[in-house]
Amino acid sequence: MHSINLKPSILLFLVLTYFLFPKLNLISITNFNLRVQDYISVLILIFIIPEILINRKTLFLFLIFFSIQFLIGFFYNELLGLVFVTRLIQYILIGYSIFLIINSDFRKVFFYLLFTFIVLSSILQYLLLIPNFDPGRGLIYSRQFSGPFSTSAELSYFMISVLFFFFSIGLVARSLFAILIFSNGVIFAPLIYFSISLKRIILLIPRTIIILLPYLFLIALAAYFIDYEILLSRITDPQYEDNTQLQKGKSLNLINVEGPLSFLFRINKFLDILVYMTSNPLIFFLGCGYGCGMGAVDSGIVRILLEFGIFVPLFLMYSKIIPKYFLACFLGVNLLFDGFWSSQVAPMLFAAVFYIYKLRIESLRHK
């Protein structure tokens, strides 16, 4: 462990404030909102710039990737597309600041303070003593607590991400945590958490299966709740004329369809995204840029296809840069939630990337 330079206590305070301060929209620009967190991010950036260690090869790859993303973003969404890509860079830098903290003497302090605030606020929300705060819906008094975050799903997948990557807990503790998030109304989250936490089994599964399984799972659920012929007919003959624009939620009439309503709405979005991609070959291969989904897609793995194209899953199948277990955790968090686009969850995912990379480098040095 090494101490962080440049006033570590201030960096700790800023990162905690970023996560625990309510998402207050200060300035709205079309589909993009500037929040308090964005201004805090600027202060964090000032602190961590001297701490960023990156070799030339990695820097070169980053520059190529983001140059392509800026071009794609501008092509499909003009200036708004550039802003979305900037937000992706923001999440990466916040993730790096978390990485600095958890590799310092402030690791325990960071997690203790974070968990304490989350637990206390969640209890008070459950008791209806304080409201949940959602920037889209305002103040909401509900037993479906979300702590300092916008929704109960964001809270659940944030905690899952932290436990996946930075803690090792036993079967009893995993079970208790799964019951807790199940009681909060996020039905699939505990199932995802409990299944992927079985690390030894995950490591036996081939990388290709790990990547394909989430997509097959979504297809199987869709086919179970909605007749296969109806699904196929909506893909080949969508219920709208303009396939060059992304339509979310127009393919299906869900009035007479039985099943969990939230998942049926997801299927509706997935179908429209599939129609949009197959109607636009360039988007099918390269995507339309980070953030082009415009609002919730309700599945990060579907959103990856939309915004980065089929190339990314294919790359992950044949590249061993990302460890299998991290890949399984990442896909699990993004199965039915836009984790890679959440201002709370995405930085934790990037912090895990930096953390795993550090552990790999250290293991290579000891060999």
DSSP per-residue letters across 300-342: HHHHHHHHH-THHHHHHHH--SS-HHHHHHHHHHTSSS-GGG-
Cα dihedral 352→358→362→365 (10° resolution): 140
* Tokens at 265, concatenated: 């709405």
The Cα 148–Cα 135 span in angstroms is 12
Rounded to 10 degrees, the C-alpha dihedral 207/209/215/219 comes to: 180
Question: What gap in Å lies between CA 326 and CA 97, rounded to an integer?
Answer: 20
pLDDT in tens, 7-46: 778 899 999 999 998 887 777 766 667 788 889 999 998 8
Asked if 190 contacts 179 with a C-beta cutoff of 8 angstroms, the reply is yes
The model's pLDDT over 248-265, given as tens digits with 9 standing for 90+, comes to 767 766 655 666 677 777
Helices (H), the chain: 8-20, 36-48, 56-102, 107-126, 152-166, 171-183, 188-196, 199-204, 207-225, 228-236, 261-279, 281-286, 300-308, 311-318, 324-333, 345-366
**Which residues have C-beta within 8 Å of that of residue 304, sequence separation ≥ 6?**
312, 313, 334, 340
Burial zone of 11 (CB within 10 Å; 0-12 exposed, 13-18 middle, 19+ buried): buried
The CB density around residue 229, as the number of other CB atoms within 10 Å, is 8
**pLDDT on residue 187:** 80
| Full pLDDT tens readout for the chain, 367 residues | 444 445 778 899 999 999 998 887 777 766 667 788 889 999 998 888 877 777 777 788 888 988 999 999 899 888 888 989 999 999 999 999 999 999 888 999 999 999 999 999 999 999 999 988 887 777 888 888 888 998 888 999 999 999 888 887 777 777 778 777 777 878 888 888 888 888 888 888 898 899 999 888 888 887 777 777 777 777 777 666 667 778 776 776 665 566 667 777 788 888 888 888 888 889 999 999 998 888 788 899 999 999 999 988 888 887 777 888 889 999 999 998 999 999 999 999 999 988 888 777 766 666 5
Residue whose C-alpha is closest to residue 337's, from 150, 89, 137, 139: 150
**Distance in angstroms (rounded) separating the CA atoms of residues 18 and 314:** 34
Q: Write the DSSP symbol of residue 197.
A: T
What is residue 98's predicted lDDT score, i.e. its pLDDT? Answer: 94
